[in-house]
Every structure is written in structure tokens, then in C-alpha cells.
Structure 1
Amino acid sequence: MNETGEAAPTRADCVADSAGGLTFHISDWVRPQPGSYDDWSGALVLIRRGSVGSGDSEVRLPLGPIGDGRLQAALPSTVALPEGRWDVHVAYGEDEPRRLAPGLNDLRSLVDRRPGPSTSPLSVRIPYATKHGNLSLRSWRRAPHAEAGEIRLEEGAMAVHGRLHRVRDPARWLDGAVLEARCRRDRDRVRTVPVTAEGAEFFCTLPFAELAGDWDGERDVWDLRLRSADAEQPPVRLARILDDVPDKKEIFTYPSTELTAPHGPVRVRPYYTRDNDLSVRVEAPA
């Protein structure tokens, strides 16, 4: 019971594996109706935020007792969980699902994760606590995927080092590739710079003057993608998702670079979006 006399929320511990799977353990569960431990028939219910009524808005995972007295549910990496934010619930029988609170997370296998060679979609699921104290998951499912690594700001430019995953031949895909910056406000404004590669690793440098040269005084956001020389290959968004941090925007921050553009002083800063994609903001100094 909490201080108000209400039942404390049930908590779930999460253990991640390097393939992208999650295992949930509940040790403080309370049966919502009479019955024995052995006839438990519950489910862990994942509900995708903002997708009510769609065909892929809910995933139910069998939740059953294990030998140490806890309940367990598994979300293997092979389960196709669409990208988004998933709220985690527990349900018994026909009862309405109720939210779970976060317990202890063992996410050590996600730190500096290096997926193996494959062309199947890359599954990433990171549990986190919402601002209301509930358990949710951030899910990504991407193929190919361009993982942004070290970003250095130097002499009015950003140097990016990354790695391409989930393509059959990364070196061939990257041969002649470019980094594409496309303005979100005007999709016809596109800038490209060449990419150099060593195997699956890629390197490129984007001069900020390329983005600020025709700036008109309004805020611009430029989204960054890798584009192969093979026109049949779709561009791949740069993102940083292979670790245990669900929201990079406030954690991985970079200083602004101030330039003089034809329209006046301008401030340029790379940042991660709410989806952990890499973009660059161009705007007037504060």
C-alpha cells in the first residue's frame, strides 16, 4: 500500500539480450481474483501509443509462473514489434489490462551493441519509465540501418563516423555513397557530401555553410540520410539506437556553431530527434 492507502502498482523487471529480445519478470503480483498460483492465466499486453484501431496496435505475450515464484513473459527479437512507444500492461483473463510500473532493468547487453551480419530487420527495444512512473518500451525496426557513432565539430563542420547494418554487402552499398541533408521545410532543398568507407564503417564531413548559405531567417531542420550510388536502394536515415538510452535528445547534446550567412548571423547545431534520428537545426541566434 502507498501513503494514500491505495494498492502499490505492480512492477516488472526487464532483462535485455543482445539480439534485441526482452524478458519481463513480475515478483510482486497480486491476483485480481481468487485462485491458486498454478492456474494463473495472464498476459503481458503491449499497446502502441497513438495506434488505437489499427491492426498492429496490441501485442499479447503469455505470462506464466516460473520456478522462483515470479511471473515471466518473453518478447523475442523475432516478434515484429512496429516502431513506436509501447505502454506495458498486465491482464488476467477477460479483465481490462492495467499499467505496470518499472522495476529493475538489466540492459548491459545493449551497451555498444554490435549486431551480427544479416539482412533481416534490426530489432531494438528499450524499456523506460514515463514521466507518470509507468513502464513503456521504445521500439525500432530498421533494415538497412545507419548507426551514427562519434560526431566531432571542427572548423564550421560536423564530422560523422558510423556503421551500416542489415545490408548484404555493406562495402558495395557504401561505394560512391553520399551523405544527404534534406530540408524539412522545403524538401527540394538538398545538400550532399561524399562518404568514405572501410567495410561497413563510413566517414563524412558536412560543412555547415552548405546548410546556411541560402538561409532566409526562418528555422530550418535538415534530416540526414545515407544515399547509395545504386539508385534502386532507398536512402537510410542516420540514427543512434544501438545502446540503452531511449531518448537521446536531452542526453547527447552538441554545442552550436555561429556563422555569418547572407541573411545575417545564424546558429547551426546537430541534434537527435525524439526518434533518435540525427538532424541539424539552422536558426537565428537566441
Structure 2
Amino acid sequence: MSEAGEAAPTRADCVADSAGGLTFHITDWVRPQPGSYDDWNGALVLILRGAEGRDGGEVRLPLGPTGDGRLQAALPSTVALPEGRWDVHMAYGDAEPRRLVPGLNDLRSLVDRRPGPSTSPLSVRIPYATKHGNLSLRSWRRAPHAEAGEILLEDGAMAVRGRLHRVQHPAEWLAGAVLEARCRRDTARVRTVPVTADGADFFCTLPFAELTEDWGGGADLWDLRLRPADAEEPPARLARILDDVPDKKEIFTYPSMELTAPHGQARVRPYYTRDNDLAIRVEAPV
């Protein structure tokens, strides 16, 4: 028991696999009643933040004992987990689900992950500790997906290399494709540049002058996606999710560039959003 008289927090270790699945191991939980596991009815409960009580806002995973005395639950990549942040709980019997705290994470299989060919949605789940010290998951589920790789800033432009995932014929999908930048404040403002492809790998260069030519001051945020030549095919959001970093906004940072625009000096900087999507911010210099 803790000094406050409450039970100590229960920790869950997480192990990721290269397919996008997670296995949870609980080692420090004390069963409320003694006895065998014949009447066991525990579960790992994932609750989508902001969707409590709504259909699809809760996923329950069987939580059972293993031979070494631990409790284990599996979240396979085949279980559809909608995009968002999922808080991780443990439930036993009729008791209210209780938040878990992070233990040890083995996320080596997520580093430089290269998913195999498939047309099913790409599943990405990354466990992390919240600011309150609880265990949560960041989940993505995308098809198609354009994974951003190397980003170079020079000569007033941004050059991006990446790889397309979850389309049946990536070379055909990329033939004639463009990088589309769409202004979040005024979605009618759209800029496109051609994409060069080699199989599923792509390369494109976006001159920042394209985004500042009609900038009128204030802050413009531009979302980036690959749009295929075939209008019936869905676009692919440009993002970086195939690694073990759940929140890249404050970790993967890029320098800004200043350009002379018709309205005045503009500062342009690429950045990752809270969803790890690649975007560009245009604003006045400080």
C-alpha cells in the first residue's frame, strides 16, 4: 500500500512486433482474492480519449496468466484500432477499470520499420507515458500512407524523400503524382509540385515562394499530401510514423527560412503536427 493508503500503481511492460502488434506484460499485480485462475475474468481495456462511452471508443483484450506467473494481453495488428490516443486500463471482475503506468518498453522492432507489401491499412501503435505518468498508446491506421524520410532545406525550398505504403502497385500510383500543399485557413489555396518516383520511393521539391506569393500576414499552416494522377484513388498524407517516437513535434525540428514576399518578410518552417503529419508554417518574423 502507498503512504496515502491506496494500492500502488500497476505497471505494464510493452513489447512491439514488426507487424504493428503489441504485447502487454503485467508483473506486479496482486490478485484481490486468493485461489486458482479457473475463474479468471480480467481484461486489458483501451479507451479512446475523447470518445468514452461512444461506440468504438473502447477495446477489451483478454488478460490471462502465463507460465511464469505474469499476466499478458495481446493487441495484434489485425485488431482495428482507430487513430487517436488510447488510455490503457486493467479491469478485474466488476471493478472499475484502473489506469496502468508504463513499465519497460521493447520497441526495437519499430525503429526503421519497413512494412511488407499489402493493401490493408497500415497499423502503427506506440506506447508512451502521459504527462501524469500513465500508460497510453498513440495509434495510426492509414491506407495509403506516405512515409517522410530525409528532409533538406536549401535554396528557399524543401526537398523530401519518402516511401509509399499500402497500395497495390506503388509505381503506377506514383506515376504522374504530385505533392499537394493545402492552406488550412483557406482550403481553396492549393499548390502542387511534381513527384519523381522509383518503385515505391518518391522525391519532390517544394519552393517556399509557392506558399508566400499570396501570403497576407498572420500564420498560414499548409498540410501536405501526395495526390495520384487517378482522381479515383485517395491521396496519401505525408507523415512520419514508422519508428518508436510517438510525438515528433518537439523532437524533430527544422530551421526556418526568411523570404521576401509581396506582403513583406515571411518566415517559413516545416514541422510535424501532433499527429506526426508533416506541415509547413508561414508567418511574419519575430
If the length of structure 1 is used for normalisation, what is the TM-score?
0.98
Question: CA, structure 1 residues 271+37, in 2 after alignment: closer, same or farther (shift >3 Å)?
Answer: farther
| Separation (CA, whole Å) in 1 of partners of 2:53 and 2:10 | 27
Kindly tell me the number of residue pairs found equivalent between the two proteins: 285
Verify the 8 A CA contact 2:144 2:234 in the aligned structure 1: no
Contact 1:270 1:279 in 2 (8 A): yes
Decide whether the 8 Å contact of 2:270 with 2:279 is kept in 1: yes
For 2:35, the equivalent position in structure 1 comes to: 36
Separation in 1, partners of 2:262, 2:152: 26
Identity among equivalent pairs (%): 83
Structure 1 residues 53 and 6: CA distance shift in structure 2, 3 A: closer
Instruction: Show CA shifts across 1:195-249 (max 9, x none).
Output: 0000000000000010011110020000000000111112111000000000010
Structure 2: how far apart are the matches of 1:15 and 1:236? Answer: 29
Question: Which segments of 5 or more consecutive residues in structure 2 lack a partner in the other structure?
Answer: none
Q: For residue 177 of structure 1, report the CA deviation from its aligned partner.
A: 0.4
Q: Please give the alpha-carbon distance, in whole angstroms, between the structure 1 residues aligned to 2:75 and 2:256.
A: 40
Q: Is the 8 A contact 1:239 1:276 kept in 2?
A: yes
Return 5+ residue gaps in structure 1 as ranges: none
Superposed structure 1 runs of 4+ greater than 3 Å apart: 1-6
| 1:274-285 matched pairs, under 5 angstroms | 274-285=274-285
Aligned-CA RMSD value: 1.0
2:222 aligned partner: 222
- Other-structure match for 2:177: 177
Q: Distance in 2 between matches of 1:62 and 1:137?
A: 17
Call closer, same or farther: CA 1:37–1:267 in 2, change over 3 Å: farther
Cα pair 1:37 1:65 within 8 Å, conserved: no
For the 8 Å contact 2:268–2:280, the answer to whether it is kept is yes
The one-letter amino acid paired with 1:87 is D
Structure 2 equivalent of residue 78 of structure 1: 78
Give the alignment of 1:1-286 within 5 angstroms. 1-31=1-31, 33-39=32-38, 40-286=40-286
Q: For the residues of structure 2 that align with 1:85 and 1:41, how far apart are their CA atoms?
A: 26
Q: Report the Cα offset of residue 8 of structure 1.
A: 1.7
Q: Do the aligned partners of 1:161 and 1:201 also contact (CA within 8 Å) in 2? A: yes
**Counterpart amino acid of residue 274 in structure 1:** R
TM norm structure 2: 0.98
Per-residue CA deviation, residues 25-65 of structure 1 (Å, 9 max, x unaligned), is 0000022x313252332000000000123210000000010
The 3 A distance-change label for structure 1 pair 37 and 156 is: farther
**1:93 Cα deviation from its structure 2 partner:** 1.1
